[in-house]
Amino acid sequence: MSYEDFLQRAISVVRVASSMSKTVQKRFRQETGTLSKMDTSPVTVADFAVQALILSELDDGTFKFIAEETSAQLKENSELLKDVTDTVNSALPGRPALSENQICGAIDLGSYAGGDSLLTWVLDPVDGTKGFMRMEQYCIALGLLDRGKVVLGVLGCPNLPFDADETGCIFYAQSGSGAFCVSVDGTHTPRQIKVSAREDVSTCRFMESVESAHSSFEQSAKVASILGVKEPPLRMDSQCKYGALARGDGQIYMRFPRAGYEENIWDHAAGSIVIEEAGGTVTDGIGHPLDFGLGRKMKNEGGIVATNGVFHEAVICAVKEVL
C-alpha cells in the first residue's frame, strides 16, 4: 500500500501548523497563555491550536487519532479558548471559521485508545513545550500507524537550522522510501538525509533531553564512559533530536526516564521512522523493537536508544551494564 497521498497531506498540514506555532511563540513572553498539566509540563495556546488545526484538517472519516491534548481544561478557560479559536482561524484564511465548539471537538478527536489495526494518526502537537517557552527547540510530531506499525512520520522543527542561512526544518519519511528534509517554508527542494557513517563509537556525540526530569543524565554519562565517548552531550528538547540524528548531527540518542514511567507513543512514533528510513536503528534500552500497537502507551524496557546503526549493539550492551 502506498501512503504517498497521506504523507503529502501530513507535510502540508505540519507546515501550516509550524508557521502558526511560530507566530504564537513570538508573542508568548508578552501574553499569558499557559496552564499547568497534570504531568507538570506547560500547556500553551500552541499545543491546543496545533492539535485542533491538524486533526480538523486530516479528519475525513478515514482515520482514527491519538493525540496528547484534550479540551477539558480549555473549556474551563473561556479567554484561552477564544485565543486558541482565533489562532486556528487566522492560520486558515479563506476557510469558513471554526466555532469554539468545533475547535474543542477537533481536539477531542485525539482521544482514541488505539491498540488495533485501524489507520491512526499519532500527534504530539508541541513536543518540547519547555523548549517552546524558552524560545528554543520544539517539534510538531505527526505519524501514521497502519496495523500498529509506523508507516510515515513528519517532524516540524521551526527553530532547528535547515542550513547556514535558514532556520526551520521539516523531516519526513515513509516506510521503504527513505528520509528527507525540507525547509519549513517549502522554498527549497527536499534533500534525502542519511545517518552519520562514523564507525568509531569513542568519537561519537550522544544526544539527550535538556530537562534532567525527562532522562537520567547520570545513566547517560555512565554509558558514554563505558563506550569511551569523550564529546560532551548535545542536549536538545523534543523529537528534534530524532531529526538531527537522522541527518548526522549526532550518532547516539539515549533516553532513560524515571523508573516505572510508561512512554507515550506520540513521543517517539514519527521520530523513530525518520531515523530508521535514514539508515539508523531505534529500540528500547535492551534492544527490543518499539511497539506502537498496544494503545496510547508503550511497554518498552530500559528507556529508548537510537543510533546510526553501526554500533547499536555495542551501545545496548553498555546500557545493560548500567541498568
Q: Which residues are annotated as a binding site?
A: 68, 124, 127, 267
> Which residues belong to the active site?
47, 129
Pairing state of beta strands 281-284 and 64-67? unpaired
Whether residue 306 contacts residue 312, with contact meaning beta carbons closer than 8 Å, is answered with no
Pairing state of beta strands 149-161 and 167-174? antiparallel
The torsion angles phi and psi of 283, rounded to 5 degrees, stand at -145, 180
- CB 111: neighbour CB atoms within 10 A? 14
- Residues placed in the known binding site for Mg(2+): 68, 124, 127, 267
135 Rama class: left (phi>0) / alpha (psi -120 to 50) / beta: left
Helices (H), the chain: 4-26, 45-58, 72-75, 78-91, 100-108, 129-133, 217-227, 240-246, 269-277, 312-322
Helix (H) or strand (E) holding 146: strand 139-146
| Beta carbons within 8 Å of 100's beta carbon, 6+ residues apart | 81, 82, 85
Rounded to 10 degrees, the C-alpha dihedral 313/314/317/318 comes to -140
C-alpha cell at 225: 564512559
- Alpha-carbon gap, residue 196 to 73, rounded angstroms: 43
The alpha carbon dihedral of 208, 214, 218, 222 has a sign of negative
Q: Which amino acid is at 115?
A: G
β-pair partners for 252 = 206, 307
As a whole number of Å, the CA-based R_g of the chain is 19
